Amino acid sequence: MKIYNTLSRRKEEFVPLEPGKVKMYVCGPTVYNLIHIGNARPMIVFDTVRRYMEHKGYAVNYVSNFTDVDDKIIKKAIEEGVEASVISERYIAECKKDMEAMNVRPATTHPLATQEICGMLDMIGTLIEKGYAYTAADGTVYFRTRKFKEYGKLSHKNLDDLQGGNRSLLVSGEDQKEDALDFVLWKPKKDGEPYWESPWCNGRPGWHIECSVMSKKYLGDEIDIHAGGEDLIFPHHENEIAQSEAANGTQFAKYWMHNAFLNIDNKKMSKSAGNFFTVRDIAQKYDLQVLRFFMLSAHYRSPLNFSAELMESAKNGLERIVTCADKLNAYLTNENITKEKSNKEIQLLIDASKYNERYDEAMDDDFNTADAISVIFELVKFINTNTDENSSKEFVEALLKQLTTLSDICGLILTRKEEILDKDIEEMIAARQAARKEKNFKLADEIRDSLLQKGIILEDTREGVKWKKA
């Protein structure tokens, strides 16, 4: 299996640190809003990497954090007049719902920055002891970037270019730095902000230190794969390497994987630019399996442009696979189906096994999901050509299993959501209204979510509750 390693800028053979095991860390979202479909790209891509590694027999320990203390979370908390934790807890819960709907499996561990402050204080202490960090007069702790001789090895940046081009790194309030390249490990609190006690000042951590610490705690000093979107290469991942390798004295991650951006009108999709769709927006119109299929129809290192046409073609593509599975299931319900496979069918199954090999070849080549999906389509064509009402049970079952397995590695579910009757929807809406009247908002939300799971979207309007199918 080959992985493109950002560190070497080459595809390298994957050799795990420990045979049969993979330790993988994926930087997760900052939780101050519903996630947008750009954030969904690394979730879907690296969930697929995990699924494929498991298919190959590896035990994968998959860690992905939620950044739950940050300027944007605090700003939103102040706007709403609530604690920062109210904001982060709300959006973690919403993010988990989106993940489930996209069939992104929960990580082995989802650590939260606010729960790992002790580890951060420890690592910052070690960095100070080793001379890699220093405290300014106001209590801010900075990393002494130039002391880490390999700084720039991931982003392939030269320190002197950085120094020359980044005078702006000296932002206001950071004029006590020894060097413009130094970055914050710990900063003093401001009024109204959450803070923790520390030997240097009451304050909160910088962003980069959390991932170094959580990765060490849950996976150890050395890990196999560290991943995230390509915007994280610099400075976030470069700084993580500097912190971890300076503190632990060993190589931090062997393979660095980065997904390219999801764009809109060929511009980066981002919250700050305002040109984004949330995953929830897409769920209004499509089953999120379609979004997953769309993301995987491109290689993860190629930029992907979001458009209505591509979503429609993803919908049609997925429908072709699901229809094929439906057809096989229908054959299996035929009471007169013969049980044992014929000699011809035995030969056909041998022929069909080449699709498994070709699928694995595509995935072994740096997780080429675009090619892997083409192989699924070829298998669909093969099935459509070689099966009918007279096929045997064993034959149909074997092909259905093959189709399901290859789809499942990409996280694509082939069973249709159960159809819900209008009468049941009306009953659930009435139960939700009753719950709201009794101020049982928890139950009311549960009912709304369970309808959403069935593809029914509720809208509270002046004329009452309206519903539509996603």
> Strands 2-5, 183-188: parallel, antiparallel or unpaired by DSSP?
unpaired
Helix, coil or strand: residue 391: coil
Angle between helices 422-437 and 441-453 (to 10 degrees): 160
Show the binding pattern over residues 231-270: x = contacts ligand AMP (CB under 6 A), - = does not: xx--------------------------x-xx-----xxx
| Residue whose entry in the numeric block shows the structure tokens 């290859």 | 406
Residue at shortest CB range from ligand AMP = 229
Beta bridge partners of 167: none
Structure tokens at 191: 């009024």
Contacting Zn ion within 82-111 (CB under 5 A)? none
List the single partner that 211 binds among ligand AMP, Zn ion, none, CB under 5 to 8 Å by kind. Zn ion
Contacting ligand AMP within 172-231 (CB under 6 A)? 228-229, 231
Residue 69 in contact with Zn ion, rule: CB under 5 A: no
Nearest partner of 368 among 467, 296, 317, judged by Cα: 296
User: Site for ligand AMP (CB under 6 A): how many residues?
Assistant: 17
Alpha-carbon distance 197 to 34, whole Å? Answer: 31
Cis amide bond preceding 235, omega within 30: yes
DSSP string of 110-139?
A: --BGGG-HHHHHHHHHHHHHTTSEEE-TTS
Contact of 244 with 251, CB cutoff 8 Å: no
If the CB atoms of residues 100 and 426 are measured against ligand AMP, the closer one turns out to be 100
If the CB atoms of residues 30 and 114 are measured against ligand AMP, the closer one turns out to be 30
Contacting ligand AMP within 20-39 (CB under 6 A)? 27, 29-30, 38-39
Among 3, 27, 288, 447, binds Zn ion (CB under 5 A): 27
Contacting Zn ion within 193-232 (CB under 5 A)? 211
List the single partner that 229 binds among ligand AMP, Zn ion, none, CB under 5 to 8 Å by kind. ligand AMP
Q: Smallest gap, in angstroms, from Cβ of residue 432 to ligand AMP?
A: 32
Q: Smallest gap, in angstroms, from Cβ of residue 229 to ligand AMP?
A: 2
If the CB atoms of residues 26 and 348 are measured against Zn ion, the closer one turns out to be 26
| Residue whose entry in the numeric block shows the structure tokens 């080959």 | 2
Helix, coil or strand: residue 62: strand
Upper half-sphere CA count for residue 226 (Cβ side, 13 Å): 27
Of the ranges 26-34, 91-99, 160-168, 421-429, which one interacts with Zn ion (CB under 5 A)? 26-34
Judged by the rule CB under 6 A, the positions of this chain that interact with ligand AMP are 27, 29-30, 38-39, 41-42, 228-229, 231-232, 259, 261-262, 268-270
